[in-house]
C-alpha cells in the first residue's frame, strides 16, 4: 500500500488516498492516480519514513525541503525549521494548569483541564 497526497497550485494538500503498489518499482498506484484523477500527487509515509510528516488535508508540501508540514494552526505561529513544526510566538506558561492559544490577543489563556472519570 502507498499513500499519496494531492496538492494544489499552492502546495496545499487537498486529500490523501491509498493505492495498491504490487509492481516492483512502486509506480502502479501513482500512474493510476494520474490516469484516472489527474492532478499533482506526492507520496507520503504513514510511518513518517520519508518527507518528515504524514500529509493530511491542509498540510503544506515544502518542495525545497521535500517534506510535508502540518497545517499552520494560527497566523502568528512560526515554523521551527529544525523540528519542522509550528510554534507559538511565545512559550506557554510552565505550570500545572491548562492553556489554549488566543490568536486575538496573542497570548495563552487558562482553560479548564480534562474531566476525570
Residue closest to 46 by CA, chosen among 59, 55, 34, 35:
55
Sorted by sequence, the CB contacts under 8 Å of residue 41 that are 6+ apart come out as 4, 5, 6, 7, 30, 33, 34
Sorted by sequence, the CB contacts under 8 Å of residue 47 that are 6+ apart come out as none
Checking if the pLDDT of 10 tops 80, the result is yes
pTM of the model: 0.77
pLDDT in tens, 88-106: 999 999 999 999 999 999 9
Checking if the pLDDT of 76 tops 70, the result is yes
Q: What is the mean pLDDT of the chain?
A: 91
Residue 28: per-residue pLDDT: 83
Residue 25: per-residue pLDDT: 53
Amino acid at each position: 500500500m502507498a499513500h499519496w497526497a494531492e496538492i494544489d497550485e499552492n502546495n496545499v494538500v487537498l486529500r490523501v488516498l491509498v493505492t495498491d503498489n504490487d509492481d516492483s518499482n512502486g509506480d502502479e498506484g501513482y500512474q493510476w492516480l494520474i490516469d484516472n484523477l489527474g492532478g499533482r500527487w506526492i507520496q507520503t509515509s504513514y510511518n513518517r519514513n520519508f518527507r518528515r510528516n504524514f500529509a493530511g488535508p491542509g498540510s503544506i508540501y515544502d518542495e525545497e525541503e521535500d517534506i510535508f508540514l502540518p497545517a499552520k494552526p494560527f497566523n502568528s505561529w512560526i515554523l521551527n525549521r529544525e523540528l519542522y513544526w509550528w510554534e507559538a510566538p511565545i512559550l506557554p506558561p510552565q505550570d500545572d494548569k491548562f492553556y489554549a492559544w488566543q490568536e486575538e490577543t496573542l497570548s495563552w489563556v487558562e482553560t479548564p483541564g480534562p474531566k476525570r472519570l
